[in-house]
Structure 1
Amino acid sequence: MSGLQLDSNGRLRHLITLEGLDRKHIEALLDRATELRDAFADSGGGPQLLSGRTIINLFFEASTRTRTSFELAARRLGATVLNFEISSSSTNKGETLEDTLSTLEAMQADAFVVRHRENGTPARLARHSRRAVILNAGDGNNAHPTQGLLDALTIRDRHADFSRLKVTLCGDIRHSRVARSDLHVLTALGAGEIRLSGPAALMPASDEFPNCHIVENFDDAVAGSDVVIMLRLQRERMAEALVNDEADYFRRYGLTTERLRRAAADALVMHPGPMNRGIEIAADVADGPQSVILDQVSNGIPVRMAAMASLLEA
């Protein structure tokens, strides 16, 4: 994937996945996100780095947070933003995604933000693109790179040295693109220990993340953790997870105040959203003093500004 994401000079050309992306590129994106966040906070406005640029959101899958965040990020940097209406597009008349991309690219679109239910779609479009850049806003269970970056930024705001951290992810990791991007970025940044917890049927294959520890008992997984990242459980996965119902899942894998006490005293509580309160996480934990869930949401904008600005050489 590095040959697709990076140009001949080693510069980031597209943002498709964090897998294989080295620490230098990741830290450069996080540093730029911090700079842009500070610039906009200090002045109430910020540099119009994308003035004259056109960004098109190609969302073939429903989204609220990610689409809104990308749109706000682009507009704050001065770009023209078009939200492509899939329901009325020519893709419903048999036009291929590649032809749709070429048509919009011929109208001088500079970047496409792509979300699709099928793994590999953003990479497929990146291979077809003639000059426009492609940003993956989530594909299947494969990758969600800007989510991984905003989660890393949220942690880095409080812990500069990842090598000293114990990080626990809990939930449906096997089917989660967020989990994969989080694990790729945590590995690249040198996280000291990464634990994965949840029903055995929802854990990744043992060889997919060989440096992570799979701990099925969530109480054990939380113990001593500096960061606890909870993942959404889709209700249709419950039978696969061999849980009786939502209450059973919450009893075994829900993050409660009592369980959180097993973690480090200043442990961060994270969730990429949308949350199922009372299933993955108790309401008092989600809204509690250790929760940085809303900080994750806020950090999505500067991270996406940084990604678009970096890719477009602004």
Structure 2
Amino acid sequence: MSTATAMKDRSLLGLKDISREEILSILDRAAYWESQSEKLVPVLNRKFAVNMFFENSTRTRFSFEMAQKRLGVQVMNFSAAASSVEKGESIYDTVRTLESMGVDAGVIRLKPSGVLQELAERINIPLINAGDGNNEHPTQALLDLYTMRKVFGELKGLTVSIIGDIKHSRVARSDLWALQKLGAKVQYCAPPSMAAPELAEHAPYVSMDEALKADVVMMLRVQLERHNEGLFKSTAEYREQYGLTEKRAASLSGHTIIMHPAPVNRNVEIDDAVVECERSLIFKQMAHGVPVRMAVMERALKD
């Protein structure tokens, strides 16, 4: 196997082009890591990884770092705000510099879409996508699937509604590709200004009433920082039309679960009282991020 092929197989750039079997393999390995009572199992203690975040993140960065440290990985954290990137150094040169220092793998989060794929073709270490513009966020989707599978046993036959800012959501894309490969039906619900028309051929857009009939109701954060101009008159108006209010939550079927990739705009896309209600798995999703990312890091770094 060539070096380029090996790097491709160990990288995780997205879920659109990964096989169903590979997804299941990662989920199974995540279950193994979640079952371990010891927090520190240093099977990768001779490996070095760098977390390169060219876009702000808290949950994803800390989740990766926790996963890496539990595996014994030597971790370096990189912040673009304190780097040569601010002085004009290209992202490629930054990653290439870190590679030349002997790093074994890189976790990378970028604002522009498409750059990660170009980097992966030129870099000779495995790269893991921690958020790629509005393209993909594969580890978030994997922990979403992992959460659903723990509740329902399997994903085949489930209906999953993804509601909210589809246009700017990489989660809506990664979840779509992965869920469909595992036999689930995906449907979207969004204001017209937040819809992604190019995804309509892959998943239908439905009304809010129809979306709430699903097995899984996945609310998305309204990404205010990505909007150059207001896409709705007020957050109150958005909540009224597309928010998961207490009233709407009370109308869900008894088996329906509530999810959200977080961070949450409380009382905008989801009411405060619903965030931690009995059927909400939002914080369990966050907890599942660590074993899932342990599985992904192991896949990237194992000899």
TM more than 0.5: yes
The answer on whether the counterparts of 1:238 and 1:245 sit within 8 Å (CA) in structure 2 is: no
Partners of 1:260 and 1:178 in 2: how far apart?
A: 22
The answer on whether the counterparts of 2:20 and 2:182 sit within 8 Å (CA) in structure 1 is: yes
Name which of 135, 141, 147 aligns with 2:134.
141
* Pairwise CA distance, 1:89: 2.0
TM-score normalised according to structure 2 size = 0.93
The answer on whether the counterparts of 1:219 and 1:262 sit within 8 Å (CA) in structure 2 is: no
Greater alpha carbon shift after TM alignment, 103-112 vs 73-82: 103-112
TM-score normalised according to structure 1 size = 0.90
Q: Which runs of 5+ in 2 are unaligned?
A: none
Aligned residues: 301
Q: Does 1:108 align with 2:102?
A: yes
Partners of 1:86 and 1:194 in 2: how far apart?
A: 35
Q: Which runs of 5+ in 1 are unaligned?
A: 1-5
Specify the SS of the correspondent of 1:55: strand
* Pairwise CA distance, 1:209: 4.6
Q: Does 1:48 align with 2:37?
A: no
Specify the SS of the correspondent of 2:41: coil
What residue is the counterpart of 2:239 in the other structure? 250
Relative to structure 1, is the Cα distance of residues 251 and 239 closer, same or farther in structure 2, using a 3 angstrom cutoff?
farther
What residue is the counterpart of 1:13 in the other structure? 10
Name which of 290, 293, 300 aligns with 2:282.
293
Q: What does residue range 1-314 of structure 1 map to in structure 2 within 5 Å? A: 7=5, 12-39=9-36, 42=37, 44-130=38-124, 132-191=125-184, 193-205=185-197, 207-215=198-206, 217-223=207-213, 225-235=214-224, 237=227, 241=231, 243-313=232-302
* Pairwise CA distance, 1:239: 5.5
AA aligned opposite 1:294: F
Specify the SS of the correspondent of 1:173: coil
Partners of 1:214 and 1:188 in 2: how far apart?
A: 19
Relative to structure 1, is the Cα distance of residues 306 and 263 closer, same or farther in structure 2, using a 3 angstrom cutoff?
same
AA aligned opposite 1:79: V
The answer on whether the counterparts of 2:155 and 2:182 sit within 8 Å (CA) in structure 1 is: yes
Q: Percent identity?
A: 40
The answer on whether the counterparts of 1:36 and 1:46 sit within 8 Å (CA) in structure 2 is: no
Specify the SS of the correspondent of 1:135: strand
* Pairwise CA distance, 1:183: 1.0
* Pairwise CA distance, 1:109: 0.2
Specify the SS of the correspondent of 1:232: coil
